[in-house]
A = this chain, B = another copy of it.
Amino acid sequence: MELTASQLAALVGGSVEGNPDVSVGTFAKIEEGMPGALSFLANPKYTHFIYETKSSVVLVRRDFEPEHEVKATLIRVDDPYATIAKLLEMVSEMTRVEKRGVEQPSFVAEGVEIPADAYVGAFAYIGKGAVIGKGAKIYPQTYVGAGCKVGDDTVLYPGVKVYDGCEIGARCILHSGVVIGSDGFGFAPVDGHYEKIPQTGNVVVADDVEIGANTTVDRAMMGSTRIGEGVKLDNLIQIAHNCTVGDHTVMAAQAGVAGSAKIGKHCMVGGQVGIVGHISIGDGTQIGAQSGVNKGTEPGARIMGSPAVDMGEYARGLVYLKRIPSMVEQLKKLNRK
């Protein structure tokens, strides 16, 4: 399907600058542009690409002022990133293959009802007493343990494992290799070895959560490990037993949260961050990548480093480190006097 620049502009509420009749049929990153493609410019870092891109049409901010000649036709919009996202969503909707029905062979325990518009892939396993929501997509090789709940329109990609008794909300997306409800890491030292503390709780994942590939969320020792509404977890993250992750918090890949930590709402946690157990991170806290957080934070805190401190203090610390060589020189001189 092809659209002209003027058709596109009408669709997204933008204004055309350049040839309104040029048409596009695909998407491309601005730096990988090609004739017939639509690109976008959102990150100022990429501005220089707009002068050389081969894409036919580029979405830009309304206030974008080119410094050189631009060959591509521009469509000015309020938010190029949001606009491209909307367009991708439309294409994605149109090309989605609607999976439905129960593929064979699969294992659905006696008494479990699979709604007519749900999908259960081959080699999937649905345990006793599990409740599967309307429109849920349970891909092949997925495990849904006994007594689990999977909400309406939730997608479990191939190979997701949900242990017995865990609950996943509606409209969630769990990517391949996600493990929900594995035992928390709880052991009591007894006479030179460790005895397992049974982990009798579960995991409760609220609505509209997305969890990245191979991320793990352990079940609580007692009660529930809780992932709040709208939370987005990237790949290879560890959430330990009895943690709470507040609504609309996002965490980048390979972050880890130790047992019983409470992460507030609307937090942003960088990649490879570690958070110790039994602390409370205030709502809206932002944590820089690779930080090691060993104490709780107030709402709105912005922290960085290992151990993590206020971002301003962290930045000043780096500056001070760079002064040491000159301090050594100054001391030498002073000592000579």
Contacts and interface: CB of A to CB of B under 8 A. Distances in A.
Nearest to A331: B330
A235 B143 contact: no
A325 interface: yes
B230 A253 contact: no
A157 interface: yes
A235 B330 contact: no
Interface in A178-208: 179, 182-183, 185-188, 190, 192-198, 200, 208
Nearest to A268: B189
A53 interface: no
Interface of A: 27-29, 32, 43, 45, 81-82, 84-85, 88-89, 91-92, 97, 103, 105, 107, 121-123, 125, 139-141, 143, 145-146, 157-159, 161, 163, 173, 175-177, 179, 182-183, 185-188, 190, 192-198, 200, 208, 210, 212-214, 216, 218, 221-223, 230, 232, 234-236, 238, 240, 242, 248, 250, 252-254, 256, 258, 266, 271-272, 274, 276, 278, 289-290, 292, 306-307, 316-318, 320-321, 323-325, 327-328, 330-331, 334-335
Contact of A177 (B88, B161, B316): B161
A185 B200 CA distance: 32
A325 B320 contact: yes
A214 B106 CA distance: 24
A107 B97 contact: no
Contacts of A232: 185, 187, 194
Contacts of A182: 157, 175-176, 212-213, 235
B179 A179 contact: no
Given A274-B289, A290-B306, A320-B321, 5 more contacts: A85-B197, A107-B122, A123-B141, A193-B208, A327-B328
A327 B334 contact: no
A45 B259 CA distance: 14
A125 B145 CA distance: 19
Nearest to A192: B248
Nearest to A317: B321
A175 B185 contact: no
A252 B234 CA distance: 20
Contacts of A82: 188, 190
A57 B278 CA distance: 22
Contact of A278 (B43, B157, B214, B325): B43
A223 B97 contact: no
A293 B153 CA distance: 39
B289 A276 contact: yes
